Chains A and B, each alone.
Chain A
């Protein structure tokens, strides 16, 4: 009973139905714990004062924005190679979540940077690369909406996602080169490695876990609705012939 067996949409519906409530519960717990702990029970940073509390939403959102696109890339590859509908629809369901995560990362990043940089938008390379990632998400979703035939839509968006990933990485370095970072990042670097004093670190882990589970829940629900819509259209199409 290989993993691919769950690529069958109907089986996937049953499995995801059982798993969904638990993941939702887990995500809720982690989010609440992470945010409450981070918001109320951590001291202010000696230099940045209370704005450090923003890391509990900015870092997880930024992480999810990047990993959402990576997940869509993997799902697109699976669709192109093994032609499993669930992975194509999962990629489609993940896109809006990734888009909102990027938006959150952008806004919280700008708010966080304001006191340090003195302006709302300071073309910091990291924030700019999220702005570009945001455009990639917009393009990806726009292509999904523009094509009627579901199968060729899945193929085309998968190819766009793969090509887009290459250019996203290129843009990431081009932006870094373009502006070596107006201001050095705060004591915390926005990328994955977190050099943070540990009393900030544990709540951060929780809120990251919370965001990851939230992402999973939303993608599972999204994929299920995509499958149902596809199933309905197939039934209708088959009936009226």
Chain B
């Protein structure tokens, strides 16, 4: 039997006002794109706490997409500016800890950019497919093998 290709699990954290609407447009325009993504809708990218990204990996995600309104388009004026700073700081920290930041894709996708969403998802699925399952994180989650943990 032919070996099945690895299908990465991707979690997308998106803003309600732009990217979520953009992804909707992708669908209503009948554009085809990879089905590996589970979308989680937020009121704003400013609401996307860094812990959500960590939890997605901990729960078995192989890749993450974070996307919201383009700069100056935030429904709440500045949520995406705050988010951008947070990601700039977080990304450096994650890299320093050896978390594979290639697995996290940040983007701005507006409500009108249905095609961009499809392209973004397809690209990221391919990137993560090449990287393979996120074994390091999965291994770290299996620490109670003997019913105990002492480091």
A complexed with B: no
Q: Which residues of A contact B (CB under 8 A)?
A: none
Q: Which residues of B contact A (CB under 8 A)?
A: none
